[in-house]
Structure 1
């Protein structure tokens, strides 16, 4: 998930450098969404992954 966020961030930066504003904005938006989904899943896995089995 984090890999995809970084890929879309790089695509957004390259598109912005080349002057493609619409594509850069869309790729940056997707990268932001994927990053926050990754963070949410990471935090959830921290909570549920540390349960003690008794």
Structure 2
């Protein structure tokens, strides 16, 4: 999810489409939250580890 968010950020920046930029930021933030929760041992979306 983090990788997809970064790709969308890059594509949105290059093409100038603000919707891709916004979706990319949201995906990066959600991916980072899931990553932190998974590394702390909390189950994320039914999985014990999220990567």
TM-score when scaled to structure 2? 0.61
Runs ≥4 residues deviating over 6 A: none
Structure 2 unmatched runs, 5+: 43-51
Alpha-carbon RMSD? 1.6
Higher relative contact order, chain-length normalized (CA < 8 Å, sep 6+): 1
Residue of 10, 13, 32 corresponding to 1:13: 10
TM-score when scaled to structure 1? 0.59
Residue 23 (structure 1) shift: 1.7
Rg larger in structure? 1
